[in-house]
Amino acid sequence: PEAQRARLPEPGPEVSPATPSIPHFGLDNGLRVLVAPTNGLPLVSARLNFNAGSAHDPAGKPGVASMTANLLTKGTTTKSAPEIATAIEQLGANIGAGASADFTNVYANAPKDVFSQTLTLMADLVRNPAFAQEELERQQSQTLDGLRVALSQPGAIAGQSVGRVMYGAAPYGAPGSGTVNSIPALTRQDMAAFHAERFRPSQATLVFSGDVTLAEARALADQAFGDWRDAGPAPAAIDKAGQALAPRVVVIDQPGAGQAAVVAAIRGISRTDADYFPLTLGNTLLGGGFSSRLNQEIRIKRGLSYGARSSVGAQQQTGVFSASTQTKNETATEVADLILEEIGKLGTTAATETELAPRRATLIGGFGRSLETVDGLGGLVANLALYDLPMSDLADYAGRVRAVTAEQVESAFARHLPTDRASLVIVGDASKFIDGLRAKYPNVEVIPLTELNLDSATLK
């Protein structure tokens, strides 16, 4: 009957995602190896991670870690970039690398029957990069093109500027992809020195996932990396986040901009903080999807934006919680106020269980979907390893999310994210909103886009 077809079925009981046990071992050179076996497709993935993120860039040279990662697949001492690309294609494999603020990740995945050859190729890229001058110049040109395009877009400008506002001269503050001034100045020697210092087996983690046994993983790791040795003493640990800075309200004036990008940012937590789960659940309610509070207030109720989002931003050291959107220039101040108001509410008034229940389901469902793929499982295991978190967190994830209460969310937001510690970064045509913004924030700083200096701790 029509009535039955129109009636939605009742949801079934919630199911916790199944998680495998994660055996591990170490090689004689100190390389830590973890294995996440799965049943199903004959695919294997490897992730090799180093403490070699953009926060480790040499002082005054932002972009070294990112450029180093980009060049790993562009030539070794025995293979050219075209030869590497051809080899990857013939294997039916995928090999790549990228740098985040904290780490560099080199990854490879391939059918099981060719995975040994794939891992051997990946090891060659990691251990014997050429950093050829021709490839460096090509990567510099491509990176500069991307940076120049980004500097025409309010959202990208705001994203690159927030780090300096929150961290100043501390390593986390510099743009990870480099700047239009730093990239042309990088030399082959910069990448070679960074690689020699940071790419070392004793401070690396290798994660296998997919159709691979512990014995097979041990043989693969030993074959590809067993004779690799550290070059020189390990680098000392560094303070990446620095001291907390006073809040700032910064406007980057881009005359003629079609809209304004608005970012509110508050110094937050590290990934290992006990409040990670309460903040993550609260963040999902605040800015995690179409029905989030920010989206409801800014888009649905007022039509001021096409969408708003927020992020916990937890890192190896203290990260930055941020909420952002884009709006008409004329409504930039109103939107900034709304963002801060919604962040503040989560720290002063407990959310309802009706709000939190679907947010828990969203987090657990997303986690479960990641577990279903070889790459997704490997990524989850690698993230736990990178932050020195126990592998038991895989099995405990769903339970920890379910255990978060409304009171814990409120307490975590109140403790870590009071809005009187928030900074604002607004990029747009300042002539259309600066008067209203200055009335509310007399200390607002206006920086013309033509004078924006991302190499400076103050942006000036």
Would you say residue 2 has pLDDT above 70?
no
- Closest by Cα among 449, 455, 353 to 404: 353
Q: Is 358 exposed, middle or buried, given 0-12, 13-18 or 19+ CB atoms closer than 10 A?
A: middle
Q: What structural domains and CATH numbers belong to the chain?
A: 24-225 (3.30.830.10), 249-451 (3.30.830.10)
pLDDT reported for residue 6: 59
Q: What is the mean pLDDT of residues 434-448?
A: 98
The reported pTM is 0.93
Phi first, then psi: what are they for 170, rounded to 5°? -65, 155
User: What mean pLDDT is reported for the chain?
Assistant: 96
**Tokens standing for residue 173:** 């503050």
For 188-192, the CB contacts below 8 A with 24+ separation are 188/131, 188/132, 188/133, 188/136, 190/58, 190/61, 190/64, 190/67, 191/64, 191/67, 191/68, 191/71, 191/129, 191/131, 191/136, 192/131
What pLDDT, in 10s, does the model give residues 111-152? 999 999 999 999 999 999 999 999 999 999 999 999 999 999
pLDDT reported for residue 335: 98
What pLDDT, in 10s, does the model give residues 242-253? 999 999 999 999
- Do residues 106 and 48 make contact, with C-beta atoms less than 8 angstroms apart? yes
DSSP label at residue 320: E
What pLDDT, in 10s, does the model give residues 293-310? 999 999 999 999 999 999
- Separation of alpha carbons 316 and 301, rounded Å: 37
- Separation of alpha carbons 248 and 118, rounded Å: 49
Would you say residue 107 has pLDDT above 80?
yes
- SS3 state at 405: coil
**Tokens standing for residue 276:** 């990670």
Place of tokens 């690159």: 160
Q: What is the mean pLDDT of residues 426-444?
A: 98
**Band of pLDDT at residue 13, cut at 50, 70 and 90:** low
Would you say residue 1 has pLDDT above 70?
no
- Separation of alpha carbons 304 and 258, rounded Å: 14
pLDDT reported for residue 232: 87
Place of tokens 């903040």: 279
What pLDDT, in 10s, does the model give residues 196-221? 999 999 999 999 999 999 999 999 99
Bridge partners of residue 43, in order along the sequence? 111
Lowest-confidence range among 3-7, 271-275, 340-344?
Answer: 3-7
pLDDT reported for residue 240: 98
Q: What is the mean pLDDT of residues 262-285?
A: 98
Would you say residue 3 has pLDDT above 60?
no
Q: Give the list of residues 6+ apart from residue 412 with CB closer than 8 angstroms, or none.
A: 275, 278, 279, 282
- Do residues 321 and 416 make contact, with C-beta atoms less than 8 angstroms apart? yes
